[in-house]
Structure 1
């Protein structure tokens, strides 16, 4: 059997969100019982809950929505790189050991020993914008991280988001990479076709390259 690494954060009541964002909530519009053959739930949530793909609309007023994104960047060869304990920003020296001439066009960075799926982390590690620029120079089309944002939580300028806007990169946030060894994999993390949304939840998985 093919091994799959599920790198998606669980989504449930209590899942952490950026302070002030809409948390996950669920109600039942229909429940199994006499005269009703099904359970049907209604969901309320920010599209940034759990593992998600930001769309350009999130950081660019003229940017594309999640549903308008081409899917190519979200599926294909990727490299998982460990940068545990790197501090507030992923700098080039934290990932340089894993950068080779055969670098895949997708790069996911692990910064946590154990990703906090049950709490908001205001001290989250982000990407240094110059790191993303250098990755784009090497042909990377998607960057991912196991924290809630590629920018520091307190940032008002979103410098790393502005680099991916300028360079046309795609981004995945809130990945769970705790159990994934460094190395190359196939990434599958397709956003939903949400035609008016600034982001989309994804069910992100990795599988070995054949």
Structure 2
């Protein structure tokens, strides 16, 4: 049986967080000795920590919240492609890849997977990718970066362009250990009513031979 590959950032108390956002913290709030029956943990976190999905409400007050999104978006066939040789990923870049029949696209960029350090700069995802992805029938875009927009962006042009063209966003994937190709993807968000996003446990399983590892 082909094994699932975990492409999720581990949630740890020393992981990097978006500047100004709520850091992740896990602690045991009550021990088995204290309760007499069980250890009980508690979380404090932004919903955008680690591997996560954005709901439109994250950047649009009129956008949908995470509990309103279909789980079908985040389960199914996906393709991982290597765009690590490009500083800017545009529609013309994506045109050089075979994306026929792809509905979920995961981009391996030049940004190394390092959850302990928040990057000062990210590879650029040009908003022009949004209409192209829609044209190809792609409705989920996953990236191995904390955002589809630059760290200092206030307009979030690529977020808005993707939403306008029906493309959902999955961020902070761990793809350095993954071979490029076709997979089955599961990356389910929590059903947090009214939330602008959610952490996910993202896993992939190769569809065409190989074990999926580099």
Segments of structure 2 that go 5 or more residues without pairing to the other structure are 209-214
- CA 1:28–1:95 in 2, change beyond 3 Å: closer, same or farther? same
Task: Provide TM-score, normalisation by structure 1.
Answer: 0.93
Q: Distance in 2 between matches of 1:156 and 1:34?
A: 47
Pairing of 1:61-210 with structure 2 (within 5 A): 61-87=61-87, 89-100=88-99, 102-112=100-110, 114-209=112-207
Q: Does the aligned pair in 2 maintain the 1:30–1:36 contact within 8 Å?
A: no
Secondary structure, counterpart of 1:181 in structure 2: coil
Q: Does the aligned pair in 2 maintain the 1:22–1:46 contact within 8 Å?
A: yes
Residue-by-residue CA offset, 1:87-132 (whole Å, 9 max, x unaligned): 1x312344433224x3310101001363111110021224211012
Q: Distance in 2 between matches of 1:81 and 1:191?
A: 23
- CA 1:126–1:11 in 2, change beyond 3 Å: closer, same or farther? farther
Q: Distance in 2 between matches of 1:140 and 1:108?
A: 11
- CA 1:28–1:133 in 2, change beyond 3 Å: closer, same or farther? same
| Count of equivalent residues | 208
Q: Does the aligned pair in 2 maintain the 1:60–1:165 contact within 8 Å?
A: no
Task: Provide TM-score, normalisation by structure 2.
Answer: 0.91
- CA 1:113–1:162 in 2, change beyond 3 Å: closer, same or farther? closer
Segments of structure 1 that go 5 or more residues without pairing to the other structure are none
